[in-house]
Amino acid sequence: MKLAIVGVTGMVGREILAVLAERNFPISELIPVASKKSCGQTISYLGKTHTIISLDDLLAKEVDLALFSAGGEVSEIWAPKLVAKGCKVIDNSSFWRLHKNHKLIVPEINGDELRKEDMIVSNPNCSTIQLVMALSPLHQKFKVKRVVVSTYQSISGTGEKAVRQLENEEKRVEGEMAYPHPIYQNVLPHCDLFEENGYTKEEMKLTNETKKILDEGIDVTATAVRVPVVGGHSESVNVMFENDFNLDEVRLALSDMPGVEVVDNPLENTYPMPITAYKKDAVFVGRIRRDFTQKNTLNMWVVADNLRKGAATNTVQIAEYLLMKNCI
């Protein structure tokens, strides 16, 4: 297995390296790829040193699988070039996600859809992954009709520039701004760019990707908010079902879902938090309660490490599924 990581020096790229090592993913040759300013630098993986190369140099190599985490512009241009050489691509950017010819995969939900002919497979948005992980078992049992979700997203979802902004503001040091306003001791109702309909791209990703993964008939409306937390996304989720439910059935369905953990004992101050989800692969669900204002409606609180299940872990899981199904 000759495996390339495109964007290896970024936050997600580094996390992919960690997850590959933790899960003992079989690699005969690791090929780290980054922008030209990083070329010639080295990374360490399982005690061995590897030299970072450029995308141009990558095209000259034989590669079985490339994991992309370098943004949509890079994926748009370079993923097809690698595919033309027979290389499979798993892409973390948003570029291919809603393309009708490319699958949007959360392995626990729709990994069985993967086929040998799938040359570019998309990894969903981090906030979408944790949402659909919680919705999927409930949709199967009670049929989701409508979702209202408010996200509380960490700055690592923006990248290292945002982390530096928060650190600088905490120290009262002037520096480069990732956001149009301070993030320290602040909350920004603004994730990604605003679109013509008044929603941000992040909010529309939650709508469109949830429909593609679970069911086109589900209505999703979102408000995405950036909070001064370094790692871990949280979501307040209000779900209306076609069928009624009881809370014991809900907790059982969530507990039986692979990759989901129910953490729900408010009387003991036990509920999901980013600080306890850090570096973990599970999606944590708590504050499970009936919405007493609306028929067949549930409230819940969903938390996950956005760099793990929201990005790196899901990417590696897709690669594992491709191997398991002899698609590589």
Q: What is the pLDDT of residues 87-120, one digit of tens each?
A: 999 999 999 999 999 999 999 999 999 999 999 9
- Residue 240: Cβ within 10 Å count: 19
My answer on whether 248 and 224 are in the same domain is yes
Q: What is the pLDDT of residue 240?
A: 98
Does 319 lie in the same domain as 240? Answer: no
pLDDT for 52 equals 98
pLDDT of residue 161: 97
pLDDT value, residue 192? 96
Are residues 92 and 69 part of one domain?
yes
Q: Look up tokens 């985490």; give the residue.
A: 69
Cα dihedral angle (136, 138, 143, 144), rounded to 10 degrees? -70
219-261 pLDDT tens trace = 999 999 999 999 999 999 999 999 999 999 999 999 999 999 9
Here the CATH number for the domain that contains residue 16 is 3.40.50.720
Q: Give dist(CA 133, CA 129) in Å, integer.
A: 6
For the question of residue 126 being annotated catalytic, the response is: yes
pLDDT band for 28, please (50, 70, 90 cuts).
very high
Cβ contact 151:127 at 8 Å: yes
Based on the domain organization, do 290 and 148 belong to the same domain?
Answer: yes
Q: Categorize the per-residue pLDDT at 165 as very low, low, confident or very high, splitting at 50, 70 and 90.
A: very high
Same domain, 252 and 169: yes
pLDDT tens track for 40-89: 999 999 999 999 999 999 999 999 999 999 999 999 999 999 999 999 99
Q: What is the token pair recorded at 135? A: 């919705």
191/102 same-domain check: no
Q: Quick one: 151 and 231 in the same domain?
A: yes
Same domain (yes/no): 68, 205: no
The total domain count for the chain is 2
Banded pLDDT at 128 (limits 50, 70, 90): very high
CA–CA separation, 281 and 168 (whole Å): 29
Indicate if 140 and 215 belong to the same structural domain. yes
Say if residue 316 is in the same domain as residue 301.
Answer: no
Q: Do residues 17 and 27 touch, judged by C-beta distance below 8 A?
A: no
Q: Which residues of 18-42 are buried (b: 16+ CB within 10 A; e: fewer)?
A: bbbeeeebebeebbbbbeeebbeee
The one catalytic residue in 50, 87, 126, 139 is: 126
State percent of the chain over pLDDT 90: 99
CA distance 308 to 196: 32
- Do 194 and 107 lie in one domain? The reply is no
Predicted local confidence at residue 249, as pLDDT: 98
b/e sequence 142-163, b meaning 16+ C-beta within 10 Å? bebbebbbbbbbbbbbbeeebb
Same domain for 273 and 137, yes or no, is yes
- Tell which residue, 79, 6, 92, 5, has the closest CA to residue 45: 5
> What pLDDT, on the 0 to 100 scale, is given for residue 265?
97
Domain that holds residue 150: 127-306
Q: Check if 233 is active-site.
A: yes
For position 133, which CATH number holds? 3.30.360.10
